[in-house]
Structure 1
Amino acid sequence: MGCMPTAAMLLVQIGFAGMNLLSKMALDNGMSPYVLIAYRSLMAAVFLAPFAFCFERNMWVMMNKKVFFQIFLSSSLGMTVSELLFFVGFKSTSPTVACAIGNMVPALTFAIAAALKMEAVRLGTHAGQAKVAGTLVCIGGSMIMPFYKGPLLRIWASPVHWRYAEQTTAAAAAAGSHSSSGLGDVLIILSCVAWAVWLIMQNKTSENFSAPYTSTTIMSLVVGVECAGVSAAVDRSLSAWSLGLGIRLYSVLYMGVVGWGITFAVMTWCIQVRGPLFVSMFSPVVLVVVAILGWAVLDEQLHLGSAIGSVLIVGGLYMVLWGKRREAKLDGNAEHDVKNGDGSSSNAKTGDTDPPPV
């Protein structure tokens, strides 16, 4: 097994980075965000359906009205809202900023779960303090991005700019699609809140129906149909659904097959092998990959506020993850001592004294 999970998660982050950049280029090319989401979701459903049939058809007997309603509700209130907010906001911001803001999801999930008393805070321990402090740092970093741009960072030009990407970005800038008001950043922050709510709802759904391929296929279909309805209400022109043979088609195919289908399957395998904490630790990697590719391919420019916010978000994310890992370790030690008849664990008393890693 060795390094396979690590290599797999690195490839997953590269896959996410490619999806981020291609979708940005499709939006800059004039593609409707509602159409993009609809195509991506329906393509993902088609890709994942065979996996659901091969690996989970024996579990379909557990599907009842309650489970289907839970899946439908989490799809509508979580995934659809989150996707719409993200891609509408994505039109007015950069891929690097969008990725940086997306890293605040674990902290938001903790904050919402703690408010609903689904997550223990434990302010008397270093682990609990790290989770709370990390959450505040993440939120603070995300607030810097829309409200403080700062001076432009002077970075040497990349020699490998993709000509088509340059033309697309220039056309978008000429059309005025990139707003400096920070509205795009605010919409992506709201998208992260909706995604955190979806994670909490999905955790409850998984307890009743533990079939990730089947549930994701259904959710993708729901999101695709709902976004198609939104697109029809906003723009009834059939030309909005035209993909052609350019970047729109490439983006939809990549996002549906790689960005949602393959990456989901690989992440599911990694969670089974190494656990969810291991998978979540790789979240900031996509920010680095997108920043490098955005600079190299799209000639993306970064401001001081974006750099400061990115550092704070990534730092806060690791504080939250460290706190979660520390609590899991302490809970495991306490459970081990109870099973062995030792009610006073020295580890449980003194083990929570190490500071978070810098």
Structure 2
Amino acid sequence: MPKESVSRMLTQAKPFVAVILMQFGLAGMSIITKFALNQGMSQHVLVVYRHAVAFVFITPFALFFDRKIRPKMSLSVFVKIVLLGLLEPVIDGNLFYTGMKLTTATFTMAMCNVLPAFAFIMAWIFRLEKVDIRRLHSQAKILGTVVTVGGAMLMTLVNGPMLTLPWTRSSSHHQTTSSTDSQDPIKGALMIAAGCFCWASFFILQAITLKVYPAELSLTAWICLMGALEGTVAALAFEWHNPAAWAIHLDSKLLAAVYGGVICSGVTYYIQGMVMKERGPVFVTAFNPLCMVIAAILSSITLSEILYLGRVMGAMVIIIGLYMVLWGKSKDLLPQPDSEAAEDKVATTV
């Protein structure tokens, strides 16, 4: 095979590999974070520590690698950065972790599959996504969005029979009698969905900001700094009468803060920015179902979380819908066939 062909294939594969690795990182975060929350860690304090760690981690890379390409900071860009720090690190972070406390790691990651639907609609509104309802691939993206939302509703409202897996049998009774007492799937689902709306808004605003501030590492550092500062204000308000919530030791709480900061804030924000510049926000969010599958397997093994048939069915519907969107998105990158162009010309004439 010619070197040019190999080089072209590797270039085309980079966005896929980067986003898939990102989903593995997010799945690991869901397991570690759920364990830390079960140990009593405050979700509001976790948001602060996570982004403080991310800022310390990513800033040296930003200072070195972006020193020649970093544009001057303007008031407009700074306002966008402040809003970015508020949308995902603070609002989405607090809603996401609170929703996870009220549900399970698997349920939380599955509900996050509504994110591509929100991102698609917003990208359509802000003209970041091409949509022509006369074409099949655009129809697939729209129908896939509707199917995704329907799957999320099915997963939220329908439990069905319990799926007893070999590694969860010994803990099934304990799970059903103790841990479910503190769970509220409906309230948790609403919080996660609201968080996903803020997360999707973050993706769109990040894509817009990168057009005027095309320094991914520096933008990541700024977002993490704003997230830590703004998150501190929110955490102080929520934990005003609980100063012990800020205590941290060499345990799962510290691991959750460090892992979340390095992998899920620092590295993830950077990867998102890099891929979005080439493929757009819808492409980045379309791989969320993979995160759910990984999280479901890991959480059932490590946390002995019980799976229900209704939630599995809802998750499968979500996957079908999202990959309809992904299929339609992939067609946007292909040159328009002559036959399709002719059909569009006829339709326009009619």
**TM-score range normalised by the length of the shorter chain:** 0.7 to 0.9
How do residues 264-343 of structure 1 correspond to structure 2 at under 5 angstroms? Answer: 264-265=269-270, 280=285, 282-329=287-334, 332-333=335-336
**Matched length:** 331
- Seen in structure 2, the aligned counterparts of structure 1 residues 254 and 283 have a Cα distance that, compared at 3 Å, is same
Q: Secondary structure at the match of 1:243?
A: coil
Q: Are the aligned partners of 1:89 and 1:184 in contact in 2 as well (CA < 8 Å)?
A: yes
Aligned partner of 1:188 in structure 2 is: 192
Aligned partner of 1:154 in structure 2 is: 164
1:86 CA displacement: 0.9
Aligned partner of 2:153 in structure 1 is: 143
Q: Amino acid of the residue matched to residue 205 of structure 1? A: T
Q: Are the aligned partners of 2:113 and 2:289 in contact in 1 as well (CA < 8 Å)?
A: yes
- For 1:170-199, what per-residue CA distance to the aligned partner results, in whole angstroms no more than 9, with x for missing partners? 7x94594322x4211111111111111121
- Seen in structure 2, the aligned counterparts of structure 1 residues 119 and 213 have a Cα distance that, compared at 3 Å, is same
Q: C-alpha separation between the residues in 1 aligned to 2:272 and 2:230?
A: 26
Normalized against structure 2, the TM-score is what?
0.84
1:283 CA displacement: 2.9
- Seen in structure 2, the aligned counterparts of structure 1 residues 123 and 272 have a Cα distance that, compared at 3 Å, is closer
1:309 CA displacement: 1.5
1:103 CA displacement: 2.1
Q: Is 1:18–2:11 an aligned residue pair?
A: no
Which consecutive residues of structure 1, in runs of 5 or more, have no partner in the other structure? Answer: 335-344, 352-358
Aligned partner of 1:42 in structure 2 is: 52
1:268 CA displacement: 5.6
Q: Is 1:251–2:256 an aligned residue pair?
A: yes
- 1:62 corresponds, among 55, 72, 78, to 72
Identity percentage of aligned residues: 33
1:75 CA displacement: 2.3
- For 1:104-162, what per-residue CA distance to the aligned partner results, in whole angstroms no more than 9, with x for missing partners? 21221112333456544322111121011001001111112222222212322259x9x
Q: Secondary structure at the match of 1:348?
A: helix
Q: Is 1:109–2:119 an aligned residue pair?
A: yes
Aligned partner of 1:132 in structure 2 is: 142
Aligned partner of 1:99 in structure 2 is: 109
Aligned partner of 2:38 in structure 1 is: 28
Q: Amino acid of the residue matched to residue 311 of structure 1? A: M
- Seen in structure 2, the aligned counterparts of structure 1 residues 61 and 324 have a Cα distance that, compared at 3 Å, is closer
CA RMSD of aligned residues (A): 3.0
Aligned partner of 1:346 in structure 2 is: 339
Q: Secondary structure at the match of 1:90?
A: helix
Q: Amino acid of the residue matched to residue 313 of structure 2? A: I
- For 1:16-62, what per-residue CA distance to the aligned partner results, in whole angstroms no more than 9, with x for missing partners? 21111001111111111110111001111111101110111233442
Which consecutive residues of structure 2, in runs of 5 or more, have no partner in the other structure? Answer: 1-6, 345-350
Q: Amino acid of the residue matched to residue 305 of structure 2? A: E
Q: Which moved more, 1:28-37 or 1:144-153?
A: 144-153
- Seen in structure 2, the aligned counterparts of structure 1 residues 281 and 135 have a Cα distance that, compared at 3 Å, is closer
- Seen in structure 2, the aligned counterparts of structure 1 residues 113 and 11 have a Cα distance that, compared at 3 Å, is closer
